[in-house]
Chain A
Amino acid sequence: MNTVSARLLPVAIFALLASSGCATNKIPDDALRLTESSLEVRAIQTRRFAVKSHVDIMNATISALQDMEYNIDALDKSLGVITASKVSDADSPSDKTGRIMLDLLCGVGGTSCNSYATRDDKYAVSMTMVVLPSLEAKGEYMTRITLQRALISKAGTITNLQRIDDAGTYSEIFARLSKSLFLKENLE
Chain B
Amino acid sequence: MNTFRRMMLCCFALISSGCGTTNPDIVPDNSQLAVRQLQTRHYDTLDTKLTMRSVVATLQDLGFIIDVADPDLGLVTGTRLHDYTMRMTVTVAQKSDDRVSVRANARINETGISDPRTYQDFFVVLDKAMFLTLNQVD
What residues of chain A have their CB less than 8 Å away from a CB belonging to chain B? 1, 6, 9-10, 13, 16-17, 22, 24-25, 27-34, 38, 42, 45-46, 48, 73-74, 76, 78-79, 81, 83, 126-128, 130, 132, 134-136, 142, 144, 146-150, 161-163
Contact = CB atoms under 8 A, between A and B. Distances in A.
A162 B84 CA distance: 9
A14 B109 CA distance: 29
List of 10 A-B pairs having minimum Cβ-Cβ separation, nearest first: A161-B81, A135-B136, A22-B19, A32-B121, A142-B138, A81-B69, A76-B69, A163-B63, A32-B122, A13-B10
A10 B6 contact: yes
A81 B67 CA distance: 9
Interface residues of B, number: 57
A17 B14 contact: yes
B95 interface: no
A45 B61 CA distance: 10
Contact of A79 (B10, B63, B71, B133): B71
Given A1-B3, A83-B65, A128-B66, A148 B80 contact: yes
Given A25-B109, A31-B118, A146 B65 contact: yes
A78 B48 CA distance: 12
Interface in B7-50: 7, 10, 13-14, 17, 19-20, 24, 29, 49
B115 interface: yes
Nearest to A161: B81
A122 to B, nearest CB: 14
15 contacts: A16-B14, A22-B19, A22-B29, A27-B111, A27-B118, A31-B106, A31-B118, A33-B121, A76-B71, A79-B56, A83-B65, A135-B136, A148-B81, A161-B83, A163-B82
A127 B67 CA distance: 10
Contacts of A33: 121, 124-125
B138 A46 contact: yes
A162 B80 CA distance: 9
A134 B124 CA distance: 23
A127 B79 CA distance: 11
Contacts of A127: 65
B130 interface: no
Given A10-B6, A83-B65, A163-B63, 18 more contacts: A13-B14, A25-B111, A27-B115, A28-B108, A30-B121, A31-B86, A31-B118, A31-B121, A32-B118, A32-B125, A34-B62, A42-B61, A76-B70, A126-B79, A146-B60, A147-B65, A161-B84, A163-B81
